[in-house]
Amino acid sequence: MPDRTGVPAAAAIEECVDEIDDFIETLDRYPEAVIAMALRIHLGALLRAMVDEQLCGRAEVREFVAALEQEALGAPDT
C-alpha cells in the first residue's frame, strides 16, 4: 500500500520485510500454520485500524487482499 505521499518506499519495505523475517525466525517453536493464522489476525486488525484512521479506503484494502491472494495462490488475474 502506498505511504501518505502515495508512493511506497521500496527501501523501507525491503528493510521492514527483512526485520519481520528475522523476527519470524525466532518463532520456530510454533508450527507454520499457527504463525500464518497469527499473522492473518494481526494483518486484519492492522488493515481495519488503517481504514478506521482513514489512512486508506475499503477499496484499497480489497485491492490489497486480492493482490495478496494472487501472490499466495498464484491465482489468475480476474
Task: Report pLDDT digits (tens) over 35-74.
Answer: 999 999 999 999 999 999 999 999 999 999 999 999 999 8
51: Cβ contacts below 8 Å, ≥ 6 apart: 57, 58, 61
- List of residues 6+ apart from 75 with CB closer than 8 A: 69
Task: Kindly state the average pLDDT of the residues 9-13.
Answer: 85
- The pTM (predicted TM-score) of the whole model is 0.77
pLDDT mean over 8-36:
93
Residues 6+ apart with CB under 8 A from 2: 8
Mean pLDDT over 12-29 rounds to 94
Q: Does a structural domain hold residue 4? A: no
| pLDDT higher than 60, residue 3 | no
Instruction: Kindly report the number of other CB atoms within 10 A of residue 78's CB atom.
Output: 5
Domain count, the chain: 1
Q: State the average pLDDT over residues 13-21.
A: 93
Q: For residue 48, is it within any domain?
A: yes
**Domain-located, residue 78:** no
By residue range, what is the domain housing residue 64?
10-73
